[in-house]
C-alpha cells in the first residue's frame, strides 16, 4: 500500500491494479465475515461464499506489492543507495504513521463511546501505537482487528535494509531462495514442535508468527525479487530493448497462466493442501504469485492501472484498509437483523464501500494538512 515512485518516473499501472484487487478482496472478505450466511443463502449458491472466503489472499498480494515498491528505487544499476538505517526508518514511518495514527485515534474514540473498549484499553492502544500489538495475543485483535497487518509492515521496514544487502550480495534469485527457504524451514520446525507440545511456548509462537516475520517473509521477498529483475536491463527487455511488456514477457505470462490454472484445478480436483498450515500457505502464495505475474506481464493491465478511477482507488487503498473494517462491523450489526443475508450483503457492499472510500479521503486530507503545517 506504499506509494513509492517506480522506475523512470512512470507509473506501473499493473501494480495499481494489484492494489485495487487486493483491497477489494480484503473488503469483501471482511464483509463476508460479518454476513457469513450470504455465502450460502444467495442465488449463486455456496460457490459464492467459497470465493468470498479467499478474499484474505489480498494481504498476500499487498505484501508482494510492498516488497516490490519498496525495493524498486534502490534496485538495478541505476538505483539510488539505500539511506542510512535510521534515516530509512524515519522516512518510511513518516509515510505510514500519520494515516495510521489518525485512524487509530478515531476508531479508539468510537470504541470508547460505544462501550467496546476493554479493561486493558490504554495498554492495548499504546501497543498499537508502537506496532507491537501483533506480538501479544491478549491485544492482537483489539480496536481494529485488521491492524495486525501494521505490525507486520513495521517489521518488514525494520528488516528491509538488511534484506536488501542480502539481495545485493547474493543476487536476486539466490537471495529470494534463501529467504523463502529459511523462513519456511523455521516455520516447519516450529510447526512440528507445536504439534508435539500443544499449549507450550512453541505452540503460541507458531500461532503468532503466522501474523509476523519470519513466517510471512517469503511474500515480501518475492516482491523484492521481481523488483530487482524489473530494474535489471539484462533481465528486462522493456528496459534493455524498449519492448512493450506484452512483447517482452509474453512467454512468461503464458507460463504464469499455466501455473495459475494448474494450481486452481488441483485445488478443485484434490482439495487445498492441508492440514499443515505451512503447506496450505505455500499453495495460496503460489496461486497469488502466479495471478500477480499474469497481471504484471500484461500491457492491458498496465494501461488500465493508469485510468483515473483505478489510480485514485489505488492511491487511497492504504487509508481504505485502515478505515473499512469497523465501518463494515458497525453497519452489519445495524443492518443484518433487519434484512435477509444476501440483500444485506449487497446493500452493505454499496453503502460501506462508499463510506470507506469517503472516510479514506478524509483521512488523507487530514494527513495532508498536518504535513503541510509541520513541513
What pLDDT digit, counting tens, does each position of 69-107 carry? 999 999 999 899 999 999 999 999 999 999 999 999 999
pLDDT value of residue 194: 95
Domain boundary among 252, 285, 306: 306
**pLDDT tens profile 256-290:** 999 999 999 999 999 998 888 999 999 999 999 99
Supply the pLDDT for residue 375. 65
Instruction: Please tell me whether residues 261 and 295 are part of one structural domain.
Output: yes
How high is the pLDDT of residue 10? 62
In a domain, 11, yes or no: yes
Q: What is the mean pLDDT of residues 297-303?
A: 96
Domain edge (last residue) among 271, 290, 306: 306
| CA atoms 249, 254, 255, 261: torsion sign | positive
Three cell numbers written together for 25: 478482496
Whether 97 and 170 share a structural domain: yes
Q: Which domain holds residue 297?
A: 244-306
Among 267, 288, 306, give the residue marking a domain's end. Answer: 306
Cα–Cα distance, 285 to 291 (Å, whole number): 10
* 177 and 276 fall within a common domain: no
**pLDDT higher than threshold 90 for residue 204:** yes
What pLDDT score was predicted for residue 274?
82
Task: Say how far apart CA 147 and CA 321 lie, in whole Å.
Answer: 9
pLDDT single digits (tens) 152-180 = 999 999 999 999 999 999 999 999 999 99
Give the pLDDT of residue 7. Answer: 39
For residues 153 and 279, membership in a common domain is answered with no
Integer-rounded Cα Rg, in Å, for the chain is: 21
64 assigned to some structural domain: no
Indicate if 83 and 47 belong to the same structural domain.
no
Question: Could you give the angle at which helices 148-170 and 172-196 cross, rounded to 10 degrees?
Answer: 130
Entry field: residues in the chain: 375
Q: What's the confidence (pLDDT) of residue 5?
A: 35
Domains held by the chain: number:
3
**Residue 323 near residue 359 (C-beta atoms within 8 A):** yes
Residue 8: band (very low, low, confident or very high) from pLDDT cuts 50, 70, 90? very low
Q: What is the pLDDT of residues 315-361, one digit of tens each?
A: 999 999 999 999 999 999 999 999 999 999 999 999 999 999 999 99
CB 111 within 8 A of CB 329: no
Q: Is 234 inside a domain boundary? A: no
What is the dihedral angle through the alpha carbons of 276, 132, 220, 162, rounded to the nearest 10 degrees? Answer: -120
- Write a three-state SS string for the chain: CCCCCCHHHCCCHHHHHHHHHHHHHHHHHHHHHHCHHHHCCCCCCHHHHHHHCCCCHHHHHHHHHHHHHHHHHHCCCCCCCCCCHHHHHHHHHHHHHHHHHHHHHHHHHHHHHCCCCCCCHHHHHHHHHCCCHHHCCCCCCCCCHHHHHHHHHHHHHHHHHHHHHHHHHHCHHHHHHHHHHHHHHHHHHHHHHHHHCCCCHHHHHHHHHCCCCCCCHHHHHHHHHHHHHHCCCCCCHHHHCCCCHHHHHHHHHHHHHHHHHHHHHHHHHHCCCCCCHHHHHHHHHHHHHHHHHHHHCCHHHHHHHCCHHHHHHHHHHHHHHHHHHHHHHHHHHHHHHHCCHHHHHHHHHHHHHHHHHHHHHHHHHHHHHHHHHHC
What percentage of the chain has pLDDT greater than the value 90? Answer: 90
Q: Is residue 355 part of a domain?
A: yes
Residues 183, 133 share a domain: yes
Q: Clarify whether residues 262 and 346 are in a common domain.
A: no
Q: pLDDT at residue 35 above 80? A: yes
Say if 136 falls within a structural domain: yes
- Average pLDDT of span 181-190: 96
Residue 332 lies inside a defined structural domain of this protein: yes
- Give Cα separations from 302 to 61, 232, 248, 250, 375 (angstroms): 17, 19, 14, 14, 33
Give 181's pLDDT tier (boundaries 50, 70, 90): very high
CA distance 289 to 131: 27
- 2 occurs within a structural domain: yes
Residue 6 pLDDT level (bands cut at 50, 70, 90)? very low
- The dihedral region occupied by 282, where left means phi > 0, alpha psi between -120 and 50, and beta the remainder, is alpha
Comparing 61 with 116, the larger pLDDT belongs to 61
Q: Is the pLDDT of residue 38 over 60?
A: yes
Q: State whether 209 and 249 are in the same domain.
A: no
Would you state the pLDDT for residue 119? 80
Confidence bin at 2 (pLDDT 50/70/90): very low
**What's the first-to-final CA gap in the chain, in angstroms?**
23
Kindly state whether residues 199 and 82 are assigned to the same domain. yes
Does residue 323 form part of some domain?
yes
Average pLDDT of the chain? 94
Q: What is the pLDDT of residue 143?
A: 95
The answer to whether the CB of 16 falls within 8 A of the CB of 239 is no
pLDDT band at 240 (very low <50, low <70, confident <90, very high): confident
Residues 6+ apart with CB under 8 A from 220: 63, 64, 66, 67, 156, 163
Residues 255 and 340 in one domain: no
Average pLDDT over residues 1-21: 70
Instruction: Kindly state the average pLDDT of the residues 192-199.
Output: 94
Q: For residue 4, what pLDDT band results from cuts at 50, 70 and 90?
A: very low
Residue 302 sits in the same domain as residue 266 = yes
| Residues 328, 279 share a domain | no
Amino acid at each position: 500500500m506504499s506509494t513509492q515512485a517506480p522506475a523512470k518516473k512512470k507509473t506501473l499501472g499493473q501494480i495499481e491494479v494489484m492494489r485495487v484487487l487486493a483491497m477489494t478482496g480484503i473488503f469483501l472478505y471482511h464483509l463476508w465475515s460479518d454476513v457469513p450466511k450470504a455465502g450460502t443463502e444467495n442465488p449463486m449458491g455456496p460457490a459464492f461464499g467459497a470465493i468470498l472466503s479467499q478474499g484474505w489472499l489480498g494481504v498476500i498480494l499487498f505484501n508482494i506489492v510492498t516488497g516490490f515498491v519498496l525495493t524498486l528505487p534502490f534496485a538495478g544499476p541505476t538505483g539510488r543507495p539505500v539511506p542510512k538505517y535510521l534515516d530509512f526508518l524515519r522516512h518510511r514511518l513518516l509515510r505510514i504513521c500519520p494515516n495510521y495514527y489518525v485512524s487509530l485515534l478515531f476508531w479508539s474514540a468510537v470504541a470508547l463511546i460505544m462501550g467496546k473498549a476493554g479493561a486493558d484499553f490504554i495498554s492495548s492502544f499504546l501497543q498499537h501505537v508502537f506496532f507491537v500489538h501483533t506480538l501479544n495475543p491478549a491485544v492482537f485483535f483489539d480496536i481494529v482487528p485488521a491492524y495486525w497487518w501494521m505490525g507486520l509492515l513495521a517489521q518488514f521496514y525494520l528488516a528491509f535494509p538488511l534484506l536488501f544487502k542480502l539481495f545485493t550480495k547474493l543476487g536476486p534469485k539466490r537471495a529470494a531462495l534463501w529467504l523463502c527457504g529459511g523462513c519456511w524451514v523455521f516455520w516447519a520446525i516450529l510447526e512440528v514442535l507445536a504439534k508435539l507440545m500443544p499449549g507450550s511456548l512453541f505452540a503460541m509462537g507458531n500461532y503468532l508468527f503466522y501474523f509476523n516475520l519470519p513466517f510471512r517473509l517469503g511474500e515480501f521477498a518475492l516482491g523484492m525479487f521481481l523488483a530487482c529483475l524489473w530494474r535489471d536491463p539484462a533481465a528486462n527487455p522493456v528496459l534493455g530493448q524498449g519492448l512493450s511488456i506484452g512483447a517482452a514477457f509474453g512467454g512468461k505470462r503464458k507460463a504464469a497462466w499455466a501455473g495459475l490454472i494448474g494450481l486452481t484445478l488441483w485445488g478443485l480436483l484434490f482439495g487445498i493442501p492441508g492440514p499443515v498450515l505451512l503447506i496450505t500457505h505455500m499453495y495460496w502464495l503460489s496461486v497469488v504469485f502466479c495471478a500477480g505475474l499474469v497481471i504484471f506481464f500484461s500491457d492491458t493491465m498496465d494501461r488500465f492501472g493508469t485510468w483515473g478511477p483505478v489510480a485514485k482507488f489505488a492511491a487511497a487503498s492504504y487509508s481504505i484498509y485502515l478505515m473499512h473494517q469497523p465501518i463494515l462491523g458497525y453497519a452489519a450489526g445495524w443492518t443484518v437483523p433487519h434484512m435477509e443475508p444476501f440483500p444485506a450483503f449487497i446493500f452493505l457492499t454499496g453503502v460501506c464501500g462508499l463510506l470507506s472510500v469517503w472516510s479514506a479521503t478524509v483521512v488523507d486530507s487530514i494527513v495532508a494538512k498536518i504535513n503541510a503545517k509541520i513541513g
